[in-house]
Every structure is written in structure tokens, then in C-alpha cells.
Amino acid sequence: MNTNSVHISKKQLSTKVIYSLTPFTLLDYPHKTACIVWFAGCNMRCLYCYNPEIVLGKGKMDFDSILSFLKTRKRLLDGVVLSGGECTLSKNIISFIKEIKTMGFAVKIDTNGSTPKVLNSLIHDQLIDYVALDYKSLPHTFKKITQSGLFSPFEESLKLLIQSNIPFEIRTTFHSSLITETDFVQMIEYLETQNFEGNYYVQHFMNNVPTLSKLNDSHKEIRLKNYSTSKIKIVFRE
């Protein structure tokens, strides 16, 4: 990877696009100690979103403050998680990641897959080490759940990751009022048609928490069956 002549201008450094920083986590980057950088804003409005304040909010921190923090965490943290919101919407995300990589950190991004051109650049330039791709639903329910028409970009991002050598995971938030059991089985079948193999992580919606839209409680019967196939293992997360 070539990160020579990496530089972010003062104007870019002072742009406040980051909502907050979680200085330490053992849960969000597999097998690594990390911090989480939460980017404000998103191009989806998922009904079950747990971070409405981040999605609807504005940035409170700039790149410079994050980079200054990371300088104090060299050899103390293994990696940096870029999450949100949707981190890939930031026009300076590539330059920012280059700065992080020059410090020696591994980089994981959490993404809804809506910006495949950015993802392709990050893969091509070897700037990311792990990706968590949110798989919201199939086209017939995608618009209702996400309030967007961004399934095609997601599909392109999925194909990019499958064809790459980047370690990645696919994950879905399941709400019984938004995704039926039939829908869920079709979602698994779709992944097989895309030649995906590996773990497919499913997080059941947490009832009684603040979300972007008010939703009824989600029933958890989906967890009682085994939906794994010969190529895809379904892993239910708490």
C-alpha cells in the first residue's frame, strides 16, 4: 500500500462531520482492541435504527481531534472502527483513512453499502482491513425499511466484497413486523445466488429502546429454528 504524500488540508481537518468517539471497545472489531468513530448523517432512515441522534444529528468533532486522539493510542489500540450514520458519505473519508493507516492502525468500516465507488477505492488501495456490511432486506421490503431506493448500490457493494480478499461480515437487524420468516429465507437464498459463503449474522431487534420510528415489539420465534445451509451459517447475535 502506498500512502506517501498523505495530507489533509487545514480546512478538511477542521470539518466537523463526526458525531462522537468511543475510545475503547472489545466488541466491535473481531479479535482487536479498537475505538469507534461515529460519523453524523446517513442516506437511509431505517425504521429500527438505534442511533437516531447520529443519523439526524450534525457533526460535533473534526478529523484533527480524532487524529490527535489516535496519536496518543499508538501501540495501545489495534484498530479503528468507522461507523455512523454512514461513514462513507464523508467526501474526505479516503484521505482520513490514509492518515489513520500511516499511524499503523487496522481499519474496519461499518457500511450500508450505498457507496460502492468509495468502497471499491478503499479495497483497491488496500485501505481497509475489515468490513461489516448491513443487509437490510430484499427489494420488495427494502424501500419501506430504509426509506430509500438504494438496494442496487448495496448489491454492487456486496459483489465487490465477495470478489475481494477483504475479510467481511454480512449482518441483518431482524424485526418480525418488517421481515417475515418467508422474507428471511429468501434473503438467505439471495446470498447463495451471489455466491456468498460463511457466517451471516442476524441481530434481533431490541424491544423498548429509542429508535428512528416507533415500532411494536418484535417476536423472537425466528431464533428457534436452524436456517443454516451447506454454505451459509446463520449466527444469531444478542
DSSP 190-228: HHHHTT--EEEEEEE--TTS--SS--PPPP-GGGGS---
| Alpha-carbon span 209 to 61, nearest angstrom | 26
pLDDT tens-digit readout, 2-31: 444 466 676 676 789 999 999 999 999 999
Query: What is the reported pTM?
Result: 0.94
The pLDDT, as a whole number, for residue 11 is 67
Nearest to 104 by CA among 133, 80, 137: 80
User: What pLDDT does residue 14 have?
Assistant: 73
- For residue 29, give the C-alpha cell: 472489531
* pLDDT value at residue 7: 64
Residue 132 CA to residue 173 CA, distance in Å, equals 13
Beta bridge partners of 235: 201
State how far the alpha carbon of 77 is from the alpha carbons of 33, 58, 64, 69, 107, in Å: 5, 27, 18, 11, 11
Choose the weakest-confidence range: 5-9, 57-61, 89-93, 163-167: 5-9
Residue 104 pLDDT grade (very low, low, confident, very high; cuts 50, 70, 90): very high
Peptide bond into 85 cis (omega under 30): yes
Q: For residue 33, what are the β-bridge partners?
A: none
Per-residue pLDDT tens digits for 176-206: 999 999 999 999 999 999 999 999 999 999 9
The whole-angstrom separation of Cα 29 and Cα 40 is 20
Give CA torsion, residues 14, 9, 128, 204, to 10 deg: 20
Which domains does the chain possess? Answer: 10-237 (3.20.20.70)
Going by pLDDT thresholds of 50, 70 and 90, the confidence category of residue 1 is very low
